[in-house]
Amino acid sequence: MADEAKPRVFVTRRLPAPIEARMRELFNVTLNAEDRPLDQGALARAVSETEILVPTVTDRIDRTVLDHAGPALRMIANFGNGVDHIDLEAARQKGLVVTNTPGVLTEDTADMTIALILAVTRRIFEGARLLAEGRWQGWSPTGLLGHRLAGRRLGILGMGRIGQAVARRARAFGLEIHYHSRRPVPEPVAAELEARFWDKLDAMLAAVDILSIHCPHTSETHHLLSAERLRLLPPQAILINTARGDIVDEEALIERLESGGLAGAGLDVYENEPRVDPRLPQLPNVVALPHMGSATEEARIAMGEKVLINIRSFVDGHTPPDRILNEWL
């Protein structure tokens, strides 16, 4: 197929090499060789010239950007599961098909969640810093005492694919599973996980030792963990967030951590990414990571393969398997 007959595809960030190579074969593709996030002006220019846009979570595809869409733009094939950075209503009004890459991040994000639970509960990063800075004076009966996981109560906010994967791992550590979600999981799943459903989030917050967030960011979940709700968590509790930073009122979280209202936090996402409040990484009871929950080669290649399938299906006149439907709006 001649290049001029191939669909024009614009990719906003560097993708794994095998995915970019395949895109060059299949499409008339524009790649971001420098891998720098594009500003709104660059995104507006991209949608004015291309047929298919492949954005990532770092791109804000809002109505202002989409107002510049040229007549050729037909599809937004998102590289990622979450689509809260895309104005879905504006895309729908322009007749654009939007797809995502669900299901391929589950195991990696669940692994990272457990890693953060362990790191905060057992003070792993504090110990590593102590050694790296040459301040360790040797073993002590009371040095860097953390807590045992077995018997502690894990509260999961959002019991979808990732929440269930976290629960399965947590059971192996002897954690009790509690969860709040829009609806209970099927009874066989609840029985397998020995999971207790709480229909009231506030009641669950007061009863858990660890809260792990796994719900999507929507207008309804923005600051779902408000200052008032954070105060419901017991002072010995820790908070883990590998979902979206906007779900937590970050200023209120910092206040609770600084005042001793919470024992600690493990964070992989932040409210104003890529800007991170400088207080968070400096707090001794916080493990702060740079949004790396899905950062495995396996996950990123699987995401790219889903993007390729979605685009090929659309170009061939079929409904893409991962099309975002109106119920997301």
* Residues 129 and 229 both lie in one domain: yes
* Residues 304 and 179 both lie in one domain: no
Nearest to 43 by CA among 74, 68, 75, 23: 68
Average pLDDT of the residues of the chain: 95
* Residues 123 and 251 both lie in one domain: yes
Q: What is the pTM of this model?
A: 0.90
* Residues 222 and 280 both lie in one domain: yes
For residues 178 and 203, the answer to whether their CB atoms sit within 8 Å is no
221-248 pLDDT, tens digit per residue, is 999 999 999 999 999 999 999 999 999 9
Partners of 11 in the beta sheet?
Answer: 54
* Residues 146 and 271 both lie in one domain: yes
Tell me which of 49, 255, 273, 305 is the catalytic residue: 273
Mean pLDDT (whole number) for 307-318: 97
* Residues 57 and 151 both lie in one domain: no
For residues 263 and 78, the answer to whether their CB atoms sit within 8 Å is no
Instruction: Please give the pLDDT value at position 4.
Output: 64
Tell me which of 8, 60, 74, 291 is the catalytic residue: 291
Mean pLDDT (whole number) for 186-209: 98
Banded model confidence at residue 327, pLDDT cuts 50, 70, 90: very low
Instruction: Please give the pLDDT value at position 2.
Output: 53
* Residues 156 and 70 both lie in one domain: no
d(CA 170, CA 156): 11
d(CA 17, CA 21): 6
313-326 pLDDT, tens digit per residue, is 999 999 999 999 74
Instruction: Please give the pLDDT value at position 7.
Output: 95
Mean pLDDT (whole number) for 61-66: 97
* Residues 210 and 79 both lie in one domain: no
The dihedral of CA 307, 77, 273, 229: what is its sign? negative
* Residues 193 and 154 both lie in one domain: yes
Is the pLDDT assigned to residue 186 strictly greater than 90? Answer: yes
**Is 244 labeled as catalytic in the residue annotation?**
yes
Is the pLDDT assigned to residue 328 strictly greater than 60? Answer: no
Is the pLDDT assigned to residue 3 strictly greater than 80? Answer: no
Which residues make Cβ contacts (< 8 Å) with residue 327, sequence separation at least 6?
none
Instruction: Please give the pLDDT value at position 250.
Output: 98
Mean pLDDT (whole number) for 86-92: 96
* Residues 61 and 182 both lie in one domain: no
**Is 273 labeled as catalytic in the residue annotation?**
yes
Is the pLDDT assigned to residue 312 strictly greater than 50? Answer: yes
**Is 271 labeled as catalytic in the residue annotation?**
no
* Residues 100 and 111 both lie in one domain: no
Structural domain total, the chain = 2
3-class SS string, the chain? CCHHHCCEEEECCCCCHHHHHHHHHHCEEECCCCCCCCCHHHHHHHHHHCCEEECCCCCCECHHHHCCCCCCCCEEECCCCCCCCECHHHHHHCCCEEECCCCCCHHHHHHHHHHHHHHHHCCHHHHHHHHHCCCCCCCCCCCCCCCCCCCCEEEEECCCHHHHHHHHHHHHCCCEEEEECCCCCCHHHHHHHCEEECCCHHHHHCCCCEEEECCCCCCCCCCCECHHHHCCCCCCCEEEECCCHHHECHHHHHHHHHHCCCCEEEECCCCECCECCCHHHHCCCEEECCCCCCCCHHHHHHHHHHHHHHHHHHHCCCCCCCECCHHHC
Banded model confidence at residue 275, pLDDT cuts 50, 70, 90: very high
Crossing angle, helix 297-315 and helix 17-26, to 10 degrees? Answer: 10
Structural domain range at position 161? 106-288
* Residues 142 and 277 both lie in one domain: yes
95-125 pLDDT, tens digit per residue, is 999 999 999 999 999 999 999 999 999 999 9
Instruction: Please give the pLDDT value at position 329.
Output: 36
CATH assignment of the domain containing 75: 3.40.50.720
Tell me which of 178, 244, 256, 300 is the catalytic residue: 244
Instruction: Please give the pLDDT value at position 52.
Output: 98
